[in-house]
Amino acid sequence: MTEYGYDYAAQAKFALFLHIVWVTRYRKGVLTGEISLKAREIIRQVCEKENVKIIKGTISRDYVHLFVSVTPSVSISRVVQLMKGKSSYALFREFDELRQHYRERHLWATGYLCCSSGAVPAEDIREYVEAQLAEEEAGPDRFGEAEGQGARPDEAAGTGPDAGVDGPRGREGDS
């Protein structure tokens, strides 16, 4: 994939960028020196195995900050779980000084931040969709309508659950 271009899969063209951040438990500044380097190594290994490309990343004293590119098949929660779990396990095994700060052996705080980010700003996409709506006639096939989110396709065709038993024309003899 080019830096901000599209990537391809069997039946998809995509550019999915994510901003992921998680912090140490109690925001303790323990990610320094060799601990930081080992954490970076483990995170890189997990990302490589899970088909996640790190575009930029930072390990600060009390947080990890990543900007990554993913494929549509990637489960974000699974990748973050693997990065946090594998790094915590390996760091506790290798660095005894972490046990002084975390007796219960939980290096990372619960949760994480994940925001999508793309080559096209969200405002541009919203304006594009609005422009498309202005060009076409207003119909029941739009998403996000205030009045009940638009009609269902089967309702528009008269074949929905409220239609007569004999289809959209009603029962025989009703004319």
Residues in the chain: 175
pLDDT digit string (tens) for the chain, length 175 residues: 444 578 888 888 888 889 999 999 999 999 999 999 999 999 999 999 999 999 999 999 999 999 999 999 999 999 999 999 999 999 999 999 999 999 889 999 999 999 988 666 777 777 877 777 666 545 555 555 555 544 444 454 455 455 444 444 444 444 4
- Are 134 and 92 members of one domain? no
Query: What pLDDT does residue 14 have?
Result: 87
Q: Note whether residue 171 is domain-resident.
A: no
The answer to whether 63 and 43 are in contact (CB under 8 A) is: no
For residue 51, give the CATH number of its domain: 3.30.70.1290
Q: Within 10 Å of residue 67's Cβ, how many Cβ atoms?
A: 17
Query: What pLDDT does residue 164 have?
Result: 47
Looking up tokens 């949760």 gives 111
Going by C-alpha positions, the residue among 13, 30, 17, 4 that lies closest to residue 105 is 30
The sign of the CA dihedral 110, 104, 75, 119 is positive
The answer to whether 74 and 51 are in contact (CB under 8 A) is: yes
Query: What pLDDT does residue 135 have?
Result: 64
Number of structural domains in the chain? 2
- Are 104 and 128 members of one domain? no
Q: Which domain holds residue 135?
A: 123-156
d(CA 128, CA 150): 20
Q: How many CA atoms lie within 13 A of 3 on its CB side?
A: 1
SS3 label, residue 130: helix
DSSP 95: -
pTM of the predicted protein model: 0.69
Query: What pLDDT does residue 175 have?
Result: 44
